[in-house]
Amino acid sequence: MAGPLSNIRVLDLSRIMAAPWAGQILADLGADVIKVERPGAGDDTRTWGPPFLKDASGKATKEAAYYLSVNRGKRSITVELDEPEGQDIVRALAARSDIVLENFKVGALKRFGLDYEGLKAVNPKIIYCSVTGFGQTGPKREAAAYDFMIQAMGGLMSITGERDGMPGGGPQKVGIPIVDLMTGMYAAVGVLAALARRTETGRGEYIDLAMLDVQAAILANQAMNWLISGNAPKRGGNRHPNIQPQDVFPCTDGFVALAVGNDGQFGRLAEILGHPEWIEDERFATNPARVRNHPLLDPMLRAEFASRSRHDLIAALDAAGVPCSPINTVPEVFSEPQVQHRKMLRKLPHPKAGEVPQVVSPLNFTNEPLAFDRPPPLLGQHTDEILRELGLSPND
């Protein structure tokens, strides 16, 4: 395996998205990630479709797009965890692994002797990360959780969406399972930090990671806005709460996302729009003034944008170094010359479909380049291979 983690083995006992996303990050970095699944069923997301990947004849397979998005680079083994022989297999894999990822309900794996203490007994250096909705402690520790409800409970939906009283007003979830993804990112960061510490101390680690904690953490500037001002942030549509002008503006032939980040950029915007007097206007000359006087500035900007072509305006703003963009659809993202140049979309060989598209890791290493040559595995595809590595015979 290529990549900076090519000497690391990960035992992935997780399913759905948050922890599997962490596993895919580690696999992209070169780790040997062994995904343990239920015989006959596998990861829940295998059935979360349509759409499903089609085989060479055009017939739908059992590989849902959702599953294909978070399991690249792994090997799949099917194991019955509630059978003693299955538990022995997991312990044998843990003895050879560096990292364990799991997202079972609190206490579930302890019944099988596969919790941290159980696997620590066979591998004292193991780094074990438990991902749950609410963590291993607290009044909701045993409750199930999904991304949508955590976006709601964690405050994200209260600041996402158009303002009340406006067309389309009301709370909205983010268009991707952002809490799952960020939880996966934190899990990957956490296990790698523990791995770095283990090289000094020789000790393993247990990491208790909760989706609600992650959502609270990534409230970031919005949480700090409230902590400093005492004013609860509200939904503002696409408008930025601290920097202006940053919003979506309609033109004659589409929309422009404008992302002015400093006073110099605002000055160049004002000149392009034919209003150089805005530069010296005390109401708009500085960002704090523009935030305070947003109700005055916004309609003036909208009037100017509405009379211009999106294509021409973006060209002029780009040339002047004023950050802006069209609002691309998902297909348009992968038609962008910059995205194509960076080779973010690849096609990997697949045993049923011939090939499967994958949006790959954005990490580019100079000395340890990443390789994307292992597609998301079929259910139990590597069971025999992995068992042979454990020294088991076909009869075993």
Catalytic residues: 180
* Residue 20 contacts residue 42 (beta carbons within 8 Å): no
Residue spans of beta strands (DSSP E) within the chain: 9-12, 32-37, 52-54, 60-64, 74-78, 99-102, 127-132, 205-210, 246-251, 254-259, 324-326, 345-350, 354-359
Spatial CA neighbour of 183 closest among 140, 206, 216: 216
DSSP assigned state of 326: E
**What is the Cα–Cα distance from 123 to 46, expressed in whole angstroms?**
31
Angle 252-254-255 from CA coordinates, rounded to 5°:
110
Q: Using DSSP bridges, classify how beta strands 354-359 and 246-251 pair: parallel, antiparallel or unpaired.
A: unpaired
**What is the Cα–Cα distance from 275 to 296, expressed in whole angstroms?**
14
Residue listed under structure tokens 């549509």: 237
Question: Could you tell me the CA-to-CA distances from 103 to 80, 94, 131, 145, 305 in Å, in that order?
Answer: 16, 16, 5, 11, 48
Contacts (Cβ under 8 Å, ≥6 apart) of 15: 37, 43, 44, 45, 103
**What is the Cα–Cα distance from 315 to 318, expressed in whole angstroms?**
5
